[in-house]
Amino acid sequence: MLSRFLHEFAGIESAWTAANIAETLVEQVRTQIGEGRALCALSGGVDSAVAAALVQRAIGDRLTCVFVDHGLLRSGERAQVEHDFVAATGATLVTVDASETFLGELAGVTDPEAKRKIIGREFIRSFEGAVSDVVGDSRRDDTAGIQFLVQGTLYPDVVESGGGSGTANIKSHHNVGGLPEDLTFTLVEPLRLLFKDEVRAVGRELGLPEEIVGRQPFPGPGLAIRIVGEVTPDRLDTLRRADAIAREELTAAGQDRNIWQCPVVLLADVRSVGVQGDGRTYGHPIVLRPVSSEDAMTADWTRLPYEVLERISTRITNEVPEVNRVVLDITSKPPGTIEWE
């Protein structure tokens, strides 16, 4: 009714469309970068993919996408990113394996804010290294002109990092509050004022396939903020196996489009007594956090079918020996954020 009144009776045109947004953002990027060159921080998620597609349309082959494997990815994610993004865009993609560096810097760290800031800092250091080491090797021309770094920062990232007027710092997103003060790049953040649903619409307008545009969100810091406690290779392995089972069962049950995302969290500093076979166990709990949302500013827990939850729990406790308990997080946002850390 309101839409009909505004458009049919009041004669107000719809200017805030995906096509108009995409066109405006492309022009803004062209103006900001000019004749310069840019790196795009590609994570494999919706936000960075849409940001990359926008900038590629604006400056063409003067954009190089860099995917940093920080060792905190889910099972099979690196191969999926390398295949899907290149197949969809044809963009130049360089992969940097920085897993040893990230895990070394995170050793002994348990505070979630410290984790995020370490990851944000090391991401930037990886991109700085890519200018001379990777991009310079793959393109023999002058690399000194790479002054711009493209990020898929969204408005909720800015708000939660305390970047809005009068807002508190809920948690520092690695691409906002986690950036180092001595940043040598000029940031290009074409999506900074958009919400996730608007980003998806812009991605579709740019012709990105649904496998990318419809992908569930996954945080830039990866599994580091889904391990409550210190991040270690063994804990990452445990969480990867549990996460892969949960994602496999949700897909098999046709639930991928019914949820915004389903973080799988390892309570690494918590143990509980259990019984497996005829023996006592003292294993870790895994938390399932299925949520529904439109823009990530608010969220509600998703009422998944009991039989789906049962299959996930049974498989995880049978197939991941370090885990002997699976629990369901039924907290909305607010008060709880979507990610535990």
> Do 38 and 152 share a structural domain?
yes
Instruction: Give 133's pLDDT tier (boundaries 50, 70, 90).
Output: low
Residue 194 lies in a domain: yes
**pLDDT value, residue 175:** 47
CATH classification at residue 50? 3.40.50.620
Segment 32-55 shows an average pLDDT of 92
Residue 44 labelled as part of a binding site: yes
Residue 182 lies in a domain: yes
Is pLDDT of 8 > 80? no
Rounded to an integer, what distance in angstroms lies between the CA atom of residue 18 and that of residue 24? 10
> Do 157 and 243 share a structural domain?
no
Integer angstrom CA distances of residue 273 from 60, 269, 320, 325: 57, 14, 15, 9
- Top-confidence residue, 221 or 180: 221
> Do 170 and 104 share a structural domain?
yes
**pLDDT value, residue 129:** 86
Beta-strand relationship, 323-328 and 279-288? parallel
**pLDDT value, residue 13:** 60
Is pLDDT of 225 > 80? yes
- Top-confidence residue, 238 or 132: 238
Beta-strand relationship, 63-69 and 93-97? parallel
> Do 239 and 204 share a structural domain?
no
CATH classification at residue 286? 3.30.300.10
> Do 244 and 180 share a structural domain?
no
Rounded to an integer, what distance in angstroms lies between the CA atom of residue 30 and that of residue 148? 12
> Do 260 and 136 share a structural domain?
no
Write the DSSP string, 75-98.
TTHHHHHHHHHHHHH---EEEEE-
Residue 53 lies in a domain: yes
The boundaries of the domain holding residue 272 are: 227-328
> Do 199 and 236 share a structural domain?
no
The 10s digit of each residue's pLDDT in 305-337 is: 999 999 999 999 999 999 999 999 999 999 999
> Do 181 and 92 share a structural domain?
yes
Segment 163-174 shows an average pLDDT of 52
Is pLDDT of 31 > 90? yes
Of 189, 213, 237, the last residue of a domain is 213
Residue 178 labelled as part of a binding site: no
**pLDDT value, residue 86:** 83
Residue 335 lies in a domain: no
Of 184, 213, 242, the last residue of a domain is 213
Q: Give the rounded percent of residues in the chain with a pLDDT score beyond 70.
A: 85
**pLDDT value, residue 295:** 84
Number of domains making up the chain: 2
Angle at 60 between CA 59 and CA 63, to 5 degrees: 80
The 10s digit of each residue's pLDDT in 259-287 is: 999 999 999 999 999 998 889 999 999 99
Residue 43 labelled as part of a binding site: yes
> Do 22 and 124 share a structural domain?
yes
> Do 297 and 171 share a structural domain?
no
Residue 145 labelled as part of a binding site: no
